[in-house]
Structure 1
Amino acid sequence: MKVGVLMGSDSDWPILKPAAALLKSFGIESEVAVASAHRTPGKVRDFVCAAEEKGIGAFIVAAGAAAHLAGVVASYTTLPVIGIPVNATPLNGMDALLATVQMPSGVPVATMAVNGAKNAAILAVEIFAVSDKGLRGKLMDYRKKMAEDVEKKAARVAAQL
């Protein structure tokens, strides 16, 4: 199992780095690349078209501003594409959100919240977990730990009352 992680600019890496770390914690490799839908479209096409040969089963794609990268990736593959709109302009990521979420019928991109890379990683894990019972178990453990962490925080707040 491997996820292709693609970003339109190296400035998107701080947003995507936690997603790559989260994937790794689940035992899922990522292949990371920087390629622009507008400035290096051939590189995007080559990355996507070679993905299945490399064992990539899903994509996490981040871009800001016009944010067409996830849609371009989706146009070249039938593998799941998870888009992350990046807050990179004075519009606070709304431009990227709309460009990512408004895909034409038949070419879907699962769109996360602005800068929502961790949820993108979790969705990729969930996609792979459909056919991997061990991964489903890891997801259940992850959710259990999240719930335990919330209870610890609630206890800390209650102790201050």
Structure 2
Amino acid sequence: MKAVIIMGSKSDLDYCRKIAENLSEFGISSILRVASAHKTPQKVLEIIKEYEKDDVVFVTVAGRSNALSGFVDANTVRPVIASPPYSDRFAGMDILSSIRMPSGVAPLLVMEAENTALAVAKIAALTDEKVRERVKNYQDRKKGKIYKADEELG
């Protein structure tokens, strides 16, 4: 399994690299691409066609008016995770364009690069025992931090 991360513009590259770094911790490779549903819809379709024959999850990273996530989801049978980077513009309310989708269009919405990678890993874990074990270890480490913090206070 691999993740194809499509960003609406290169301004989202740092955020996408964080997703890719977190994916590598689960042993999942990723491919970074740039295409806009508004400006280059044909390019988006070409990317989908290039990769959807493989075992992939598409991750879409677009802010403002996030047509990218819905557009990708409407054109593939593969899972799509919308991961819009947080923006202080509009008090973060541009996220609403990632939430409301028309019927028959269902990208998942996950905030934060680390959580996006975890969601991809959990999808991969359905069929990949190694990834499943990495997800379990990740969850155990997170739980351990809470227990340790509590012990430090007591």
TM-score relative to the length of structure 1: 0.87
Q: Do structure 1's residue 136 and structure 2's residue 135 form an aligned pair? A: no
CA distance in 1, matches of 2:91, 2:84: 10
Query: Partner of 1:98 in structure 2?
Result: 96
Deviation sequence 1:118-137 (CA, Å, 0-9, x none): 21111111011111222111
In percent, how many aligned pairs have the same letter?
34
Structure 1 unaligned regions, length at least 5: none
Q: Do structure 1's residue 67 and structure 2's residue 66 form an aligned pair? A: yes
Query: Partner of 1:52 in structure 2?
Result: 52
Cα shift at 1:15: 1.9
Structure 2 unaligned regions, length at least 5: none
Cα shift at 1:88: 4.0
CA distance in 2, matches of 1:148, 1:105: 41
Matching of residues 77-116 of structure 1 within 5 Å: 77-88=76-87, 90-95=89-94, 97-113=95-111, 116=112
Runs (4 or more) in structure 1 with deviation over 4 Å come to: none
CA distance in 2, matches of 1:132, 1:93: 36
Contact 2:60 2:82 in 1 (8 A): yes
- CA spacing shift, 1:33–1:74, aligned 2, 3 Å: same
Cα shift at 1:107: 1.3
Matching of residues 14-33 of structure 1 within 5 Å: 14-33=14-33
Aligned residue pairs, count = 154
Contact 2:74 2:104 in 1 (8 A): no
Q: Do structure 1's residue 150 and structure 2's residue 146 form an aligned pair? A: yes
Supply the RMSD in Å over aligned alpha carbons.
Answer: 1.6
CA distance in 1, matches of 2:146, 2:93: 30
Q: Do structure 1's residue 127 and structure 2's residue 123 form an aligned pair? A: yes
CA distance in 1, matches of 2:120, 2:91: 25
Contact 1:86 1:93 in 2 (8 A): no
Contact 2:2 2:28 in 1 (8 A): yes
